[in-house]
Amino acid sequence: MKKLIFATNNKHKIEEVSSLLSGKVEIISLAAAGLEGEIPETSDTLQGNALQKAQWVWDRTKSDCFADDTGLEVEALDGAPGVYSARYAGEHCSFDDNIDKLLRALQGETNRKAAFRTVICLIENGEPHYFEGKIEGTILTERHGIRGFGYDPIFLPNRYAVSFAEMPLEVKNLISHRGLSVKKLVDYLVKK
């Protein structure tokens, strides 16, 4: 069976992708591949960071591998926090700090359009391939729901009546940026 190293130590991400590829491709975590250390993420684009992370694994293993990077892009803020979504309120900030900062930045703003975007970079035989997933929605004026993580309580996907944090995970995974990007990767891999 084909093996792919996923450049993440996030168990939830490994499980999600492994279940979608079960029986077709074996997903190997960084730890299982014997890789340790902080992977640099210094690009100012999602695509650049995904490539940087996948390249870090390729350079050390010469094995096929992939990495992902996600950002929340808010129209009225010219695409911020974007690639800096994890540390929008500063290094080591919490999800709540990020939400508070975003709500403050959008106080009184009527254009609340936003999108989550995920870019996956697969390196196969040394060549990068990109897969993108995007979901559009709006930023709520206050938190709704307690599920999920990150900006979920203030993100209302278009055509839905509830925030990401009010949805069961299975529903969110079906429509989310990450779910869509993973589906494109899976479609590419199983067609081979």
Dist CA 37 CA 134 (whole Å):
30
Which one of residues 106, 152, 157, 180 is an interface residue with ligand IMP (CB under 6 A)?
A: 152
Q: In the bound complex, what is the minimum distance in angstroms from residue 167's beta carbon to ligand IMP?
A: 11
Interaction between residue 176 and ligand IMP (CB under 6 A): yes
**Which residue has the closest beta carbon to ligand IMP?**
150
- Residues in the interface with ligand IMP (CB under 6 A) total 16
**Where is 105: in which H helix or E strand?**
helix 95-105
* Residue with Cβ nearer ligand IMP (92 or 191): 92
Cα distances from 22 to residues 2, 3, 81, 161, 181, in angstroms, run 11, 11, 34, 33, 17
Residue 33's SS3 state is coil
Q: In the bound complex, what is the minimum distance in angstroms from residue 150's beta carbon to ligand IMP?
A: 2
Please list the helix, strand and coil fractions of the chain in percent, rounded to the nearest 5, in that order.
Answer: 35, 25, 40
**Interacting residues with ligand IMP between 29 and 68 (CB under 6 A):** none
Which one of residues 69, 99, 137, 156 is an interface residue with ligand IMP (CB under 6 A)?
A: 69
Which one of residues 150, 171, 173, 184 is an interface residue with ligand IMP (CB under 6 A)?
A: 150
CB count, 10 Å around CB of 19? Answer: 10
Dist CA 192 CA 183 (whole Å):
15
Which range binds ligand IMP by CB under 6 A, 57-65, 99-107, 148-156, 180-188? Answer: 148-156
Any idea which residues carry the catalytic annotation?
69
**Angle, alpha carbons 105-118-61 (nearest 5°):** 130
* Residue with Cβ nearer ligand IMP (41 or 124): 41
* Residue with Cβ nearer ligand IMP (9 or 22): 9
Q: Within its chain, how far is the Cα of 34 from the centroid? A: 23
Interaction between residue 105 and ligand IMP (CB under 6 A): no
